[in-house]
Amino acid sequence: MKTLQHKHIIKWFELASLTLRENKDYLTKLDSEIGDADHGFNMERGFNKVHNKLEEFSLNTDLGAIFKNMGMTLISSIGGASGPLYGTFFLQFGMAIVTKTELSLQDFVTAFEKGVNGVKLRGRASVGDKTMIDVLAPVADRLKESLSENNTFEKVFSDIVKSAEKSMKSTVPLIAKKGRASYLGARSVGHQDAGATSSYLILKSLKEAIEE
Amino acid sequence: MKKLINNIEDVITEQMQGMAAAHPELKINLDPKFIIRADSDSQKKVVIISGGGSGHEPMHGGYVGKGMLDAACPGEVFTSPTPDQMFECAKAAHNGHGVLFLVKNYTGDVMNFEMAAEMLNAEGIKTQNVLIDDDVAVKDSLYTAGRRGVGTTVIMEKIVGAAAEAGYSLEACAKLATKVNSYGRSMGMALTSCIVPAAGKPNFDIDENEIEIGVGIHGEPGRKRIPHTSCDEITSILTHAILDDGVYTRQIREWDHGTGNWKEIEFTSPPFKSGDKMIVLVNGLGSTPLSELYGVYRKMHEICEDKNIVITRKIIGSYITALDMQGVSITMVKTDDEILKFWDAPVKTPALRWGV
Ligand SMILES: Nc1ncnc2c1ncn2[C@@H]1O[C@H](COP(=O)(O)OP(=O)(O)OP(=O)(O)O)[C@@H](O)[C@H]1O
Ligand SMILES: [Mg+2]
C-alpha cells in the first residue's frame, strides 16, 4: 500500500474508539496507581464523541478538515491533561494536510511530527518524563527514518507499533516528572504510564485499520 | 458505594440545576456547562472566572456572586473543564473590560485554561491567567508539575473579586492575584480516601490506623504516611510545614499582550516571618465535623501566638473539599492593607457572604 486513503482514516478512528472503550477500565486502573483514576473515562468520553462523528467524517473528503474536527472534538469533550494534548495532536496533524484527500508516507510523517511537536509545546514534557511523549516522540523519529527505506505503509505501521509497545513498557521504571504522577516522585517507579498506554492503543488501531 | 445520586452521568448537571433553583441571583448554562451571575449583563468591570474539576464544592460555583467570581466552569468530577466551556463562559460574562482566569496549578487545568486564553485573546477579548500554587507538601518544581493549587484559591477569589468590583483594571487584578498567590501557603492531611462517583470505590487506599500528611484535594499523595495520632500533633505538623517553608521559586507562564504569546517568568514566594499578619482558613475536606476543625484551630492558634504570627481574619468550615474525604487543610495568606481592605469588602455568594 502506497497511500493512506480516506476509508483507512475513518477505520482508524473507529477502531481507536472501540479499543479505548474496551480498555477503559485498564487505563483507569493504570491512572489510579499513579494518577487520579480518570484517564479511561476521559478517553472514552472523548472518543465516544468521535465515534458519533464518523458518519459526518465519511461524507467529508478533506482529510485535513477531518483531523482538525477530530482534534476540536477531543479538546471540547475530554478535559484533563489528555484533552488538550491529544486534541492538539490531531489538530496540528490536520493543519499539515489541509485539503488532502489521501496521504503519502511523506505526508503522514510530516503531519505526525507536527502533531507531536504540538504536544511537546503544550505540555512541555521531554522523553523520559513518563508521559505519552515517551511513546509519541520515538514513533515520530522512527517514521522519519522509514522515509529513506522505501517501505509500504503495512511495514512502517507494524514497525511503529512495535516501537510504541516497547516505549510504553519502558515507562514502567521511570520516575514521573510531569503530570499528576510527578507528585509521587520515586513512588511512581514500577507503574506504566496511562497516557503512554492510550497512545500505544491508538497507534495499534492505526495498524489494524489498514489490515482490514 | 452509598451516595445521594440518581445517575452518575447527571451528578454535575443536577447539582447545577439545584444551585440555579436555590439561588435566583445565579444563572446556569448546560451546554457547555457554566454558572454565571444573573446580573452579569449589567456589569462594567473586569470579569473574574475560575473553574476546575467538580468535587471540591462549594468551590467554584458557590463563589459566584457580587464581590467574588463572575462565573465558574465545572469539569467532570476531578477532571479539568474544557477550553470551549471557558471560552463560551468568558464570552457570556465579558463586558469590555477583560477577563481574568484564576487557575489552580494542575497540568490539566493549566493547559485547558491556556488554550481558552489563546482563543479569547485571538478573538480580541483581553484575557490573562493567574496560577494558584500554594501546596507546600510539594517541595520542588523542577522534577514535578509544581505545587498544587489548594486553599489560597478561595481567598484569592474573594480578594480579587472585590478588587474587580472596586474598578481595578485587568492588569491590576492580575497583579493583586499574583501577590496573593505569593503570600499564600497551604498544607492538608487525610484521615480517609474519597469516592469518585464514576469509579465507585476509594480513590486511594489508606489503612484504618494510617493518615496521609500533605494530601492533595484529589487524594494526591503528600509528604508521608504516618500512624494516626492526636489532633494537636497533626495540627502541629501542618502548621509548622507552612510556617517553616522556605523561599519557593518556580517558572510560570503569563500571556504577553504585546507579542501575543506566552512568556515564562520566574516567580518567588518569600517565607513567612515573625510579625506577619494572616488570613487563615481551617478547611474541612468534605466529611470532617466542624467540631474537629475548631479543635485544629485551637492548636494552630496557640502555635501562631508562640511564633508571633498574627491571625487577623479567619474562616473555619468546608470551603474547598475533596468529595467525601475526612481530613483538614490549613491555609495562611499574609496580608497587607490592600489585601485586608478587599477581604473585608462585601461579598454575596451562596457559600461566602458578609457585609450585604
Ligand atoms: N505535561 C505533559 N505532557 C505530555 N503528557 C502529559 C503531561 N502531563 C500528563 N501527561 C499525560 O497525561 C496522562 C494523564 O491524562 P488524564 O486524562 O488522566 O488527565 P489528568 O492528568 O488526570 O488531568 P486532570 O488533572 O485534569 O484530572 C498521563 O498519563 C501522561 O501520559
Ligand atoms: Mg488522570
**What is the distance between the alpha carbons of residues B11 and A1, in angstroms, rounded to a whole number?**
48
Ion ligand 2: residue ranges with CB closer than 5 A = A 31, 35-36, 38-39
CA of A38 to the centre of ligand 2 (A): 5
SS3 assignment, position B83? helix
* Contact B198/A at CB under 8 A: yes
User: Band of the pLDDT at B140, cuts 50, 70, 90?
Assistant: confident
**What is the distance between the alpha carbons of residues A45 and A79, in angstroms, rounded to a whole number?**
10
Domain ranges, ordered by start, for chain B: 10-183+247-271+337-354, 187-243+273-334
The whole-chain average pLDDT of chain B stands at 96
Q: How far, CA to CA in Å, does A66 sit from each of A7, A74, B317?
A: 12, 12, 49
| Pairing mode of beta strands B347-348, B353-354 | antiparallel
Q: Yes or no: say if A84 and A73 are a contact pair by the CB < 8 Å rule.
A: no
| Residue nearest atom 1 of ligand 1, based on CA coordinates | A123
Q: CA angle, corner A75, sides to B54 and B264, nearest 5?
A: 85
Q: Yes or no: say if A123 and A178 are a contact pair by the CB < 8 Å rule.
A: yes
| Residue nearest atom 16 of ligand 1, based on CA coordinates | A39
Q: Do B203 and A75 touch (CB under 8 A)?
A: no
CA of B75 to the centre of ligand 2 (A): 13
What are the CB-based long-range contacts (under 8 Å, 24+) for A134-138? A134/A167, A134/A168, A134/A170, A134/A171, A134/A174, A134/A193, A134/A196, A135/A164, A135/A167, A135/A168, A135/A171, A135/A196, A135/A199, A135/A200, A135/A203, A136/A89, A136/A199, A138/A163, A138/A164, A138/A167
Q: Do B203 and A85 touch (CB under 8 A)?
A: no
| Residue nearest atom 29 of ligand 1, based on CA coordinates | A195
Over residues B222-256, the pLDDT tens digits come to 888 999 999 999 999 999 999 999 999 999 999 99
**What is the distance between the alpha carbons of residues B80 and B73, in angstroms, rounded to a whole number?**
9
| Residue nearest atom 9 of ligand 1, based on CA coordinates | A179
Q: What is the mean pLDDT of residues B313-341?
A: 98
Q: Nearest ligand, CA of residue A74? A: 1
Q: What is the mean pLDDT of residues B124-137?
A: 98
CA of B325 to the centre of ligand 2 (A): 18
Over residues B150-176, the pLDDT tens digits come to 999 999 999 999 999 999 999 999 999
User: Band of the pLDDT at B61, cuts 50, 70, 90?
Assistant: very high
User: Band of the pLDDT at B291, cuts 50, 70, 90?
Assistant: very high
Residue B65 has pLDDT above 80, yes or no: yes
**What is the distance between the alpha carbons of residues A4 and B350, in angstroms, rounded to a whole number?**
55
Q: Exposed (0-12), middle (13-18) or buried (19+): which is A208, by Cβ within 10 Å?
A: middle
pLDDT at B295: 98
Cβ neighbours around A121 below 10 Å, total: 11
Strand partners, B314: B280
Question: pLDDT tens, position by position, for chain A (212 residues)?
Answer: 889 999 999 999 999 999 999 999 999 999 988 988 889 999 999 999 999 999 999 999 999 999 999 999 999 999 999 999 999 999 999 999 999 999 999 999 999 999 999 999 999 999 999 999 999 999 999 999 999 998 999 999 999 999 999 999 999 999 999 999 999 889 899 999 999 999 999 999 999 999 97
Q: What is the mean pLDDT of residues B251-268?
A: 95
CB-based burial, A160-196: b 16+ in 10 Å, e otherwise: bbebbeebbebbeebbbbbbbbbbbbeebeebbbbbb
CA of B151 to the centre of ligand 2 (A): 21
Over residues B14-27, the pLDDT tens digits come to 999 999 999 999 99
State yes or no: is B56 an active-site residue: yes
CATH architecture of the region B187-243+273-334: 2-Layer Sandwich (3.30)
| Residue nearest atom 13 of ligand 1, based on CA coordinates | A195
**What is the distance between the alpha carbons of residues B345 and B356, in angstroms, rounded to a whole number?**
9
Residues with CB under 6 A from ligand 1: A 31, 35-36, 38-39, 42, 80-82, 85, 123-125, 131-133, 178-180, 193-196; B 53, 78-80, 106-109
DSSP symbols for B198-238? TT-SBSS---TTEEEET--TT----SEEEE---HHHHHHHH
**What is the distance between the alpha carbons of residues A121 and A131, in angstroms, rounded to a whole number?**
14
Amino acid at A189: V
pLDDT at B201: 87
**What is the distance between the alpha carbons of residues A122 and A204, in angstroms, rounded to a whole number?**
24
pLDDT at B199: 85
Domains present along chain A, CATH in parentheses: 4-209 (1.25.40.340)
Residue B47 has pLDDT above 80, yes or no: yes
Over residues A20-32, the pLDDT tens digits come to 999 999 999 999 8
CA distance A179 to chain B (A): 6
Q: Do B76 and A184 touch (CB under 8 A)?
A: no
Mutation choice for ligand 1 from A78, A131, A197, CB with most ligand atoms inside 8 A: A131
Amino acid at A163: S
Q: Yes or no: say if A201 and A26 are a contact pair by the CB < 8 Å rule.
A: no
Amino acid at B145: A
Q: Do B84 and A76 touch (CB under 8 A)?
A: yes
* Contact B216/A at CB under 8 A: yes
State whether CATH 3.40.50.10440 applies to domain B10-183+247-271+337-354.
yes
CA distance A37 to chain B (A): 7
State yes or no: is B60 an active-site residue: no
Q: Do A38 and B216 touch (CB under 8 A)?
A: no
**R_g (Cα) of chain B, nearest Å:** 19
Q: Do A75 and B198 touch (CB under 8 A)?
A: no
**What is the distance between the alpha carbons of residues A202 and B288, in angstroms, rounded to a whole number?**
43
Over residues B173-218, the pLDDT tens digits come to 999 999 999 999 999 999 999 999 988 889 888 999 999 999 999 9
pLDDT at A169: 98
